[in-house]
Amino acid sequence: MHSPTIRKHTLFSLVLVANLSLTSSLRSAETPTPETLKAFESYVQAAEVRNNEELANRKNFLWLDVLPKSERERTYQLLKRQQTTIRRSASCASRDCSKIPGGLIHDWTGITFVPGVTLQQTLTALQDYDRDADYYRPTVLRSKLLSRAGNSFRVFLRLKETHVLTVVLDTEYEIQYLVMDGTQAASVSHSTLITEIENAGSAQEHATPPKDSHGFLWRLNSYWRFYQADGGVYIQCNAISLTRDVPAGLGWLAGPFIENVPRESLDFTLTATREALLKTTHTSGMQKSSNSTPSAKPFCRPGKFKSSTRLQNSFTAATERKALLCLAAHMPPSINSDHLTLLGFVAMFLAGCSYALARWNPWGLLLATICLALNWFGDSLDGTLARFRNRQRPRYGFYVDHMIDSFGALFLMVGLAASGYIDWRIATGMLVAFLLLSIESYLASYTLGIFRLSFAKFGPTEIRILLAIANTVLFFLPAARVSGWSHRLLDVGGAIAIVAMTAMAIVAAVSHTLTLYRQETL
């Protein structure tokens, strides 16, 4: 029977090889075959027939309207609390239906609600395509309205997606708007050109030959609906895209990655649209107020806090999001987000104390795991509960949450250093690397409007899970070593964490520096 350390070492090696294979496989992909394009066009044609029928009949204008009454009312309440709802489209409720020869069809529909805006304000803002690079950064690097004839538009967008690889695409779209009345409108967007760009932004920039493309995006159609009601506008987007198929033999690893990217992109697009409309209408309102009272004395108070776009694409993100929303819906009214924040803070302090206790009693390891679970409950649920109840305090929450995270990291690393299961220098290095990565993330949030909650598919929840696994192994095998090495389990894990976090901070810093340099050239 293999020891736990051998199995763990083998699993790590397999994941490493698979990642290298995935990266190599995605380096190139054939252009879509005629059979692939024919299957996609057939799928799109059926989808557009349904779309046109629904618009003509004014029936089920939003997909929420077909839900059972209780679920429909609950979902509308979530939207009014500025939650974005996304699902795989009803016409493609299972993954199997999107499998076509040589490619994958991704069909997702999402809805968001923008309070305090009108249908006309929404359409005016969204048709200002020259500003898409401001609205949807960092995904949209450049945007330009190529032509307009009435309600028909031709638009250019340079897109950037960073997951396993960074891909830059030059894309063009034909967009048609239909205003049905004073409260309902729709639009249809078809991609007409998608070209991958190598060395974007440099003197060596050039279009990638089709045979050398990654195949991350071959076609993209989107079907938007706008409905003014309840003191704002509901915005629904159905995005249907065509990409390459999962590389042979890597479905278990690449499948979730390739299939989740379109969903995450739609989530980002709807969230950024909502934030852009809120900002635009707020700015417009401020200008009107200023123009109407030119002699008024300025009221000295801090400016409106700009919330950043949250990017979370870790392994557990989708499952965790559903669990947190369920917990928020069933949380007693007497419990608020401050109580949960305090719970998370105290739990992390106790986790550090538990690790210190483990120096003399191994049960401290299991107690630390319980404390980490309580920390997840408080730290992850506080923001979700505030958004669910529409009780956000962006400035307060941003400051308090990140200060608590910093002190929590200190408590945890001091406890680990005192536990005797890890060299104190490794624990110190982990703390420094974590704070360095945190500083970079906070600065990116302020300067770029992006708050990244995960790196390389790992976020706080994945770190807690790894610590819980290590605690269990050490409880039963206190002298556990990594197979073939004389070093202790946590020493090796800590050293890997230091290298990984430092590398992530450096890569992110270089990438964000280049982005800011291009946006603010001399």
pLDDT digits (tens, 9 = 90+) for 307-352: 566 666 777 877 888 888 888 888 888 898 999 999 999 999 999 9
| Residue-level pLDDT at 113 | 92
**Of 320, 362, 350, residue with least CA distance to 457:** 320
Predicted confidence at residue 60, as pLDDT, reads 79
Confidence of residue 100 (pLDDT cuts 50, 70, 90): confident
Please give the share of the chain, as a percent, with pLDDT higher than 90.
29
Residue 449 has pLDDT above 60, yes or no: yes
**One domain, residues 312 and 226:** no
Beta bridge partners of 433: none
| Residue 292: inside a domain | no
CATH (domain of 343): 1.20.120.1760
286 within domain boundaries: no
Q: Is residue 242's pLDDT more than 80?
A: yes
In this structure, is residue 284 part of a structural domain?
Answer: no
Same-domain status, 347 and 441? yes
- Please state the separation of Cα 60 from the chain's center in Å: 29
Among 276, 294, 324, residue at a domain's last position: 276
Whether 102 and 33 have beta carbons less than 8 Å apart is answered as yes
pLDDT band at 26 (very low <50, low <70, confident <90, very high): very low
- Which domain-ending residue is among 276, 298, 332? 276
| pLDDT beyond 90 at 76 | no
Same structural domain, 265 and 314: no
Model confidence band, residue 86 (pLDDT cutoffs 50, 70, 90): confident
Q: Taking every pair of C-alpha atoms in the chain, what is the biggest distance, in angstroms?
A: 83
* pLDDT for 22 beyond 70: no
3-state helix, strand, coil in the chain (%, to 5): 55, 20, 25
- pTM beyond cutoff 0.75: no
Domain count, the chain: 2
Residues 102 and 221 in one domain: yes
Whether pLDDT at 16 is above 60: no
Q: Is residue 438 part of a domain?
A: yes
Q: Is residue 7 part of a domain?
A: no
* 189 inside domain: yes
- Residues 218, 138 share a domain: yes
User: What are the backbone dihedrals phi and psi of residue 393, each rounded to the nearest 5 degrees, phi first?
Assistant: -130, 80
Predicted pLDDT at 155: 94
Range of the domain at 123: 17-276
How large is the average pLDDT for residues 387-403? Answer: 80
Q: Are residues 250 and 313 in the same domain?
A: no
Residues 453, 463 contacting (CB under 8 angstroms):
no
Grade residue 423 by pLDDT with cuts at 50, 70 and 90: very high
Domain boundary among 276, 292, 315: 276
Of the candidates 58, 95, 270, 276, the one whose C-alpha atom is nearest the C-alpha of residue 183 is 58
Is 100:32 a contact under the CB 8 Å cutoff?
no
Q: Are residues 258 and 355 in the same domain?
A: no
CA 84 to chain centre: 12
Token look-up 């304000």 returns 121
Residues 334 and 452 in one domain: yes
Q: Which residues contact 38 (CB under 8 A, 6 or more apart)?
A: none
Domain contains 10 = no
Q: How far is CA 21 from CA 16, 284, 340, 518, in A?
A: 9, 51, 42, 33
Task: Give the separation between CA 429 and CA 498, rounded to whole angstroms.
Answer: 6
The mean pLDDT value of the chain amounts to 80
